Amino acid sequence: MPTDAASNLPPVLRPEHPPTRRLAELAERFAARVDGEIAGIELNGLTLATADLRAGEVFVAIRGVNNHGARFARAAAEKGAVAVVTDEEGAALAADAGLPVIVVDHPRALLGDLSAWVYGTGPGDALPVLFGTTGTNGKTSVSHLLEGMLSQLGVTTGLSSTAERHIAGQVIVSRLTTPEASEFHALLALMRERGVEAVAVEVSAQALSRHRVDGIVFDVAAFTNLSHDHLDDYADMREYFEAKLPLFLADRARRAVVSLDSAAGAEVAERAEVPVVTVATPDIADDAAAARAADWVVDIVEERQDGTEFALRSRDGRTLTTTVPTIGRHMASNAGLAIVMMLEAGYTWEALTAALDGGRIDAYLPGRTQRVSGERGPAVYVDFGHSPDAFEKTLAAVRRVTPGRVVMLFGADGDRDATKRHDMGRTAVEGSDILVVTDHHPRNENPDSIRATLVEGARRARPDADIREYSPPERAIVEAVALVGEGDAILWAGPGHQDYRDIRGVRTPYSARELSRRALRAAGWPVPEPHWPVPYPDDVSPSSDPERPFPSP
């Protein structure tokens, strides 16, 4: 398994004062075979990657797609590892590294419980209140909304999402939607050290399938929705759905809040092993009648460019009216779900109404239908959505608050679920007046081929539509801005908060938010100052193509 030393990934976070454990106790506790002498050896952490290894830690070597991590055991020893935990195959590869080897049957499957023991972050340990959210769309938004509302209640918060990790106010860029189990438990231990009282966690299907949240019991688990995505990882939608269900088992969560907006919600509620409360938004639900029968109902009051006002109503007659600071009925649905999660965790109705009723949720949602334009000129929204369902909902939200034309700008991930690309093109063209197709993360695919598939899906749906194709995206946003004026809108879907593009394994500095600002400014429109990190200097063109340079500010 190759290390990530050259990938420019953010560092792994660890507690500043990690507990010390005995290696012999590890071997005994996890019924492991030991090759070598371990008496008297202590450890203070563990990691999967030699690039992140610190002296005194255990190197957990697992088989990757192309290699076995045990091939890096000698490098781990040179960096100060005290032992290797691996399987039988890895034990043979690590035999000459000069480290004791602890042999287990399935090291990845054991990683969560092993990490929980090392860092003292298991079900019986003192931890912050843990919220876990899964579903196809909305996980990141729910997590950031939870953090914002908890902060409004005076709670010291932590967050782990696709976009960022937060620790009592400190912000760190994320590596994965859900970190590896060893990273996750170390992160929780650090949050506990710093006085974090509640943590909002985004839990992907892959995190559950790949044991990244093993050893964790969430106080409240939530389900947002299910739609077409990730069929590069799962054989079909049924397998993808089943991958999310373990979050609602008794060894993973204590309570659950389930949205009935998609048809899958009812099955999640039925099959959950923990007490379930349901919530739904009839305005966007697949089945409006079923949504009306939920324990909590979100009713849309008003949609504006600066937010969406909604009322949350319970069966017993309680009502709370507030505004989520972004456009879209689906965002109101996410906020309603988050409020019910807080109630299920034990935060009181009185505290929530005092903070929110008649007011506004104070939350920052990076790259989630984020308006980057000024008060005058066309509205430009940058969004992270990259599935057909996300396109449909977000375009509809932009349409409802836009008096003029809507331009859709998007690309698709390379080396990811290619089966959704025609549907992405279809929903994009059906919801917009002009469609602009460009590149996103090509990774190791040919970007020309990706764009061709997207255009093909759009043409099939609307042969007469105005469809443009531009590469690279630095040029595409300039061309899109040239198409719009006062009262129009551009939705740039896909990149959202990200500050890089993955081109053949290299993370190239890139910011759709900043590129949008520069394109607007070059066209003569006023733009606000950025409140996000800019991955390249203001006087440097981000375009790698000298034939199509980005216009100077």
- Is there a common fold for 21-119 and 370-522? no
- Report the SS3 class of residue 203: coil
Please report the pLDDT score of residue 48 as a whole number: 93
What pairing do the DSSP bridges indicate for beta strands 21-22 and 42-43?
antiparallel
Can you tell me the distance from the alpha carbon of 44 to that of 42, in angstroms, rounded to the nearest whole number?
A: 7
Please report the pLDDT score of residue 10 as a whole number: 58
Q: Which of 517, 515, 542, 545 is nearest to 529 (CA)?
A: 517
Give the CA diameter of the chain. 75
Task: Please name the residue ranges forming H helices in 195-313.
Answer: 205-209, 237-244, 264-271, 288-292
- Report the SS3 class of residue 483: coil
DSSP-derived letter for residue 443 is B
User: Is residue 115 within 8 Å of residue 218, measured between CB atoms?
Assistant: no
Please report the pLDDT score of residue 543 as a whole number: 47
> What is the amino acid identity at position 31?
A
What pairing do the DSSP bridges indicate for beta strands 276-280 and 253-259?
parallel
Question: Over 120-173, what HEC string results?
Answer: CCCCCCCCCEEEEEECCCCHHHHHHHHHHHHHHCCCCEEEECCCEEEECCEEEE
Angle at 191 between CA 186 and CA 197, to 5 degrees: 140
User: Is residue 367 within 8 Å of residue 513, measured between CB atoms?
Assistant: yes
User: Is residue 334 within 8 Å of residue 142, measured between CB atoms?
Assistant: yes
Can you tell me the distance from the alpha carbon of 512 to that of 59, in angstroms, rounded to the nearest whole number?
A: 37
Please report the pLDDT score of residue 230 as a whole number: 61
- To which residue do tokens 């590469």 refer? 471
pLDDT by position in tens, the chain (length 553): 333 333 445 567 899 999 999 999 999 999 889 999 999 999 999 999 998 899 999 999 999 888 999 999 999 999 999 999 999 999 999 999 999 999 999 999 999 999 999 999 999 899 999 999 999 999 999 999 999 999 999 999 999 987 789 999 898 876 555 688 999 999 999 999 999 999 999 999 989 999 999 999 999 999 999 987 767 778 898 998 999 999 999 999 999 999 999 999 999 999 999 999 999 999 999 999 999 999 999 999 999 988 999 999 999 999 999 999 999 999 999 999 999 999 999 999 999 999 999 999 999 888 888 899 999 999 999 998 888 988 998 999 999 999 999 999 999 999 888 999 999 999 999 999 999 999 999 999 999 999 999 999 999 999 999 999 999 999 999 999 999 999 999 999 988 878 889 899 888 888 999 999 999 999 999 999 887 777 766 554 444 443 333 333 2
Count CB neighbours of 448 within 10 A: 11
- Report the SS3 class of residue 47: strand
Give CA separation, 382 vs 59, 368, 378, 489, 552, in Å.
40, 7, 13, 11, 21
Count CB neighbours of 8 within 10 A: 11
Give CA separation, 448 vs 1, 129, 168, 459, in Å.
30, 47, 44, 16
| Radius of gyration, alpha carbons of the chain | 24
370-522 is a CATH 3.90.190.20 domain: yes
Can you tell me the distance from the alpha carbon of 137 to that of 330, in angstroms, rounded to the nearest whole number?
A: 9
The domain limits of the chain are 21-119, 129-356, 370-522
Q: Which two tokens stand for residue 39?
A: 């008496």
509-512: long-range contacts, CB 8 A cutoff, minimum separation 24: 509/535, 509/536, 509/542, 510/473, 510/535, 510/536, 510/542, 511/535, 511/536, 511/542, 512/367, 512/382, 512/473, 512/477
Which phi and psi (to 5°) does residue 492 adopt? Answer: -100, 105
* Fold of the CATH domain 21-119: 3.40.1390
Is the backbone peptide bond immediately before 472 cis, with ω within 30 degrees of 0?
Answer: yes
Please report the pLDDT score of residue 233 as a whole number: 74
* Fold of the CATH domain 129-356: UDP-N-acetylmuramoyl-L-alanine:D-glutamate ligase (3.40.1190)
Can you tell me the distance from the alpha carbon of 311 to that of 93, in angstroms, rounded to the nearest whole number?
A: 60
State whether the Cα torsion 246-247-250-255 is positive or negative. negative
Please report the pLDDT score of residue 2 as a whole number: 34
The distance in angstroms from the start CA to the end CA of the chain is 43
Task: Please name the residue ranges forming H helices in 64-104.
Answer: 73-78, 88-93
- To which residue do tokens 């088992």 refer? 249
Please report the pLDDT score of residue 9 as a whole number: 54
